[in-house]
Structure 1
Amino acid sequence: MEQVPITQTTRQLIEQTRARSEAISQVESMMAQAKGTAHDLDNTVEVTVDAHGKLLALWLAPSAVNWDADRLGSLIVEVADVAQREAVQDSYNKVALLLGEDVTAMIEQISGLPAPARAENDDNGLTVEEFQRRREQRLAQEAANQPPPRRPRIEEDDDLYSFDPASLRSDR
């Protein structure tokens, strides 16, 4: 095993340890603040939950009264599950910014709940190629002074056109 010399003073190491300890004490409150929102493809149901699955908001379109109760109940549960995965991912993203990837990966292992973005069967959303194709299409439309095509209702912070691919992390 290779020996690595310590380049920090004892005082610096103590301060670094205190800073990490303080950051770790903030993890629970950060994770409690995480929430996720999801909706079905038809925008009939929208659910907001926290990372523990606690229901924070439920919105039903007026057309939901026409649905069979069992079918509507199943849809609400499915949408809530998607929202919870988003909330869990949001909590891990916040913790990773505070503590770094290595500590966040340890928290995932201890909790037994891996980050949804690491799931093998995860839908990765847009591929890079599809994102670039849509971007080129949008830029071509802007250059031709044509308005972009109408989009379904999207929350402001979920706006596809303001997405910055540099914000992606390789494993998130």
Structure 2
Amino acid sequence: MSTVDQVPVTSTTRELIDQARARQDALARVESLMAQARGTAHDVDGTIEVTVDARGKLHRLWLAPDAVNWGHDRLGPLIVEVSQAAMREATQDSYNKVALLLGEDMTYMIEQMSGMPAPARAQDDDPGMTVEEFQRQRAQRLGEAPPEAPAQASTVDDDDEDAYWESFDPASLRSDR
């Protein structure tokens, strides 16, 4: 006979019902979020551009006028390759949208059940640039002086904290989402 751990319930019945309904509503919206997710990719020459949704439905295929000179043996495989890149982007976009709705843990569970992990979790995914490199390039683009290295932890008063958050750039964050 196995034992069951007893965990005290701190929520009221009404709160538990409301939480269950909220989860049910959120799960019902997953399908529409996935239908809204899009991915667009193009080849390095800018000759082909493909847009698909997270289900792989083609929404747009654009070919440059000189693509007719390439021939089917070159053009066909390139369209497939660009479409696969667009599909990876659409898949990632759908997981990003679902994660905002359901949270990271639930989204990861959906990835596991679907057998399609988020492309950002792929072993061969480019880890991107460091925060420092991003800030240096950003400062360069904006014609600003490059940011100094972060100071060691110190006490921060409210004015400094407000200034910090006003200048905070969320694009400097790296996530697997």
Identify which of 52, 64, 67 aligns with 2:70.
Answer: 67
Residues in 2 aligned to 1:10 and 1:49: alpha-carbon distance in whole angstroms = 44
Residues in 2 aligned to 1:130 and 1:118: alpha-carbon distance in whole angstroms = 22
Alignment of 1:92-171 (within 5 A): 92-140=95-143, 164-165=170-171, 168=173, 170-171=175-176
**1:87 counterpart residue number:** 90
- Over the matched positions of the two proteins, sequence identity in percent amounts to 70
1:60-83 per-position Cα deviation (integer Å, ceiling 9, x unaligned): 111212213211111111110000
Q: SS state of the match for residue 40, structure 2?
A: strand
**1:13 counterpart residue number:** 16
**Residue type matched to 2:68 in 1?**
V
| 1:44 matches 2:50 | no
The structure with the largest alpha-carbon Rg is 2
Q: SS state of the match for residue 104, structure 1?
A: helix
With normalisation by structure 1, the TM-score equals 0.79
Alignment RMSD: 2.3
- Which consecutive unaligned segments of at least 5 residues does structure 2 have? 146-168
Residues in 2 aligned to 1:5 and 1:73: alpha-carbon distance in whole angstroms = 61
User: How many residues are treated as equivalent by the alignment?
Assistant: 152
**2:164 counterpart residue number:** none
Question: Residue 141 and residue 29 in structure 1: after superposition, are their counterparts in 2 closer, same or farther (change >3 A)?
Answer: same
